[in-house]
Structures are given as structure tokens and as C-alpha cells.
């Protein structure tokens, strides 16, 4: 694909769409022309891109004429509706929804892991689930060195995973509770202020949630490990932005914490935060607005008699590496910038 590229953002006024716009600017993505697309109620809103004001246009099937790359963050139903119009116009759709992630022939890409898969597309490239993307960045370099065999994940997912309305609900509920008022639950499954709950997305027949099974199935696809053993529990926590995860990892080969630190210190997209004696470890407050995934609390699994197990803790910005940044990085791969 030629650079610079004509770029469109579908869902430009949402939380992730806004981060996509900011990320394109901050990373100096080679944009020739930019279209901001949203529903009719957002038409006319203006956003600054470098030194230019760009007005939001209504998303229609004709929106993609002349577009090279279309970044989608408007929900799965919208992505499905506009897929044909987008690809028929010759644009590559980089989709942030769950619509096409597990579809055969659609690459599911985390550039630090499987950038080469991006070139195997037939017009659509899928962005992974936020927790999956953050996890893969941290786990992949360890797998390459020591061959991952099994993983047990527990997530601590911020309100940002539910979009701007969920973030607003956390803020409003917190104010209400502190003022002695009842918390109104309208967006999330339960009260989130001063609470947490193990319920993200719908429950499936196997008693896992859809979010949990996304992490299982998407990780296997991204890492090209269809038999990888994974179990996951996803929990919503009263954090505004940035997800965290506790990971128990089993490898085929011995690995020590010192080896893991050495591997991760050189890994792309990772920053070590592993000095507990000085209160340095990954925290969502620090990960917020950061591109890299923070990794720390690296320790040997003491439940084992061998040295094939590790425990680590990670934090990553759900709106960036978990969504907008990853999509822009995929676009960078396509234009040869990354």
C-alpha cells in the first residue's frame, strides 16, 4: 500500500474513535486525506488534526470512495453492515469490534506478535479484544524463548472497557455513594462504585462469559497455537481506565524470574515495572495513556516443584494498546511505517 494513505475513522466520536484520531496525530501517521465518520446526530462536529479542523460526516455506504484504510470502532453490527461497501471501494477495514475476529480468512493481529499476518487479508483485518491484545504483548516474548504450555488469567478490567457511558456511570455512581445517595445502575451489570463483579459480556453454556472465551480463542489464533491451554476469569473493577491482569504461566522449558526480566526488558511494547521493594509494580493509574504494557511482580510459581512456572502482573491502557493504538499500528504495518 502506498504512503501517505487516505484514512477514514468510522465511529470517530466515540471513546476509541477519538483515541484513534489522537494516535494518528501523535505517531505522525502518513495521512493524505482524513475522513471522520459517525451517525447523523454527530454530523458537523469538528475535531482538530494537526493544524486542520475536520468536520464529522455521516457514515454511509458511499463514505469509502477513495479511502485506503478505514479504522472502524462503531460496534459489530455497524462493521458487518458496512463491510462490503468498504472493501468494494478498495479500502482495507481495520475493525475494532468482535464481528470478524474468529472468521476464517480474517487476520487477527497484534503487531508485536504476528505483524506478518496483516498482509494475508482479504479486505478486513481484525483488532483483538482489549485484554487479549494487552496479554499477548507481555506473554509472546516469553513464549518465543521458553514455549508456553498453559496459562491461567484473572483480569481486572476498567470501566473504559464498557465505553464512555460506563466510564460516566462509574464517576456518577462514585459521587452519589459519597453523597449518601443510591447508585443508579443503567449501563453495567452491577453497581461498580466501591464494588467489583465477575461478569463482563454474557454468560455462555459452559458458564464462562463471552469475554473470557474471547481471550481463550483469540489468543490461540493470534499466537497460532490452537491447542494452547487457557483458562480465564474476567472481572470489572472500579478503575476508570486501563486494564490489569494476573497471569500464571506454565512453560515447556525451565524459566527463572531473572531470565524473564531479561527477555521482557528487550521486548517491543513492554516496560518492566518490577521492583516491589521500592513499591514499583504495574498499576492502571500509571498505565493510563501509555502505549507500552507494564509488566512486573515476576516470580517463580511456588506451587510447583520445577522451574517451569511463573506468575506475572500486567497493566495496559484499554483504549490504546487494547484498541486504538493497536489498530493504528496495524495500519502502520500496511503502509510500511512500522
| Cell numbers describing residue 51 | 493544524
**86 in active site:** no
Helix residue ranges, H only, 89-233: 111-114, 130-146, 164-178, 210-222
Q: Give CA–CA dist 57/43, Å, rounded.
A: 5
Q: Give CA–CA dist 182/331, Å, rounded.
A: 45
Q: Give CA–CA dist 203/190, Å, rounded.
A: 15
Q: Give CA–CA dist 169/146, Å, rounded.
A: 43
Query: β-pairing, 52-58 with 46-49?
Result: antiparallel
Our CA angle for 116, 287, 235, nearest 5°, is 90
**234 in active site:** no
Residue 200 backbone zone (phi > 0: left; psi -120 to 50: alpha; other: beta): beta
Q: Give CA–CA dist 251/146, Å, rounded.
A: 6
| Strand, helix or coil for residue 127 | coil
Candidate list 121, 136, 143, 243, residue with the active-site label: 243
> What secondary structure does DSSP assign to 51-95, as a single string?
TEEEEEEE--GGGGTT-SEEEE-S-HHHHHHHHHHHHHTTPEEEE
b/e map 186-204, b = 16+ CB within 10 Å: ebbeebbbeeeeeebbeee
Candidate list 86, 121, 130, 232, residue with the active-site label: 130
Question: Torsions phi, psi of 121, nearest 5?
Answer: -80, 160
- Catalytic residues, by residue number, are 130, 243
Amino acid at each position: 500500500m502506498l504512503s501517505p494513505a487516505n484514512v477514514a475513522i468510522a465511529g470517530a466520536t466515540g471513546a476509541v474513535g477519538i483515541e484513534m484520531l489522537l494516535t494518528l496525530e501523535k505517531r505522525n501517521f502518513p495521512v493524505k486525506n482524513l475522513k471522520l465518520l459517525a451517525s447523523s446526530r454527530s454530523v458537523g462536529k469538528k475535531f482538530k488534526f494537526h493544524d486542520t479542523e475536520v468536520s464529522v460526516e455521516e457514515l454511509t455506504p458511499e463514505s469509502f470512495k477513495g479511502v485506503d484504510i478505514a479504522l472502524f470502532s462503531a460496534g459489530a453490527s455497524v462493521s458487518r453492515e458496512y463491510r462490503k461497501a468498504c472493501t468494494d471501494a478498495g479500502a482495507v477495514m481495520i475493525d475494532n469490534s468482535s464481528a470478524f475476529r474468529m472468521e476464517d480468512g480474517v487476520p487477527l493481529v497484534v503487531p508485536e506478535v504476528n505483524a506478518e499476518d496483516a498482509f494475508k487479508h482479504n479486505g478486513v483485518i481484525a483488532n483483538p479484544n482489549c485484554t487479549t491484545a494487552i496479554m499477548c504483548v507481555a506473554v509472546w516474548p516469553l513464549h518465543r524463548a521458553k514455549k508456553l504450555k498453559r496459562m491461567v488469567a484473572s483480569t481486572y478490567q476498567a470501566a473504559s472497557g464498557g465505553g464512555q457511558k460506563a466510564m460516566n456511570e462509574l464517576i456518577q455512581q462514585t459521587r452519589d455513594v459519597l453523597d449518601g445517595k443510591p447508585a443508579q445502575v443503567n449501563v453495567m451489570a452491577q453497581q461498580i462504585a466501591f464494588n467489583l463483579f465477575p461478569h463482563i459480556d454474557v454468560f455462555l453454556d459452559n458458564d464462562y462469559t463471552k469475554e473470557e472465551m474471547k481471550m481463550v480463542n483469540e489468543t490461540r489464533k493470534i499466537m497460532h497455537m490452537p491447542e494452547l491451554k487457557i483458562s480465564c476469569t474476567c472481572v470489572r473493577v472500579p478503575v476508570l481506565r486501563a486494564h490489569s491482569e494476573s497471569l500464571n504461566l506454565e512453560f515447556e522449558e525451565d524459566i527463572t524470574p531473572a531470565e524473564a526480566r531479561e527477555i521482557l526488558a528487550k521486548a517491543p511494547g513492554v516496560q518492566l515495572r518490577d521492583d516491589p521493594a521500592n513499591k514499583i509494580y504495574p498499576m492502571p493509574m500509571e498505565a493510563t495513556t501509555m502505549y507500552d504494557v507494564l509488566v512486573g511482580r515476576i516470580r517463580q510459581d511456588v506451587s510447583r516443584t520445577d522451574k517451569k512456572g511463573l506468575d506475572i502482573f500486567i497493566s495496559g491502557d484499554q483504549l490504546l494498546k487494547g484498541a486504538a493504538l493497536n489498530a493504528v499500528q496495524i495500519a502502520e504495518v500496511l503502509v510500511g511505517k512500522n
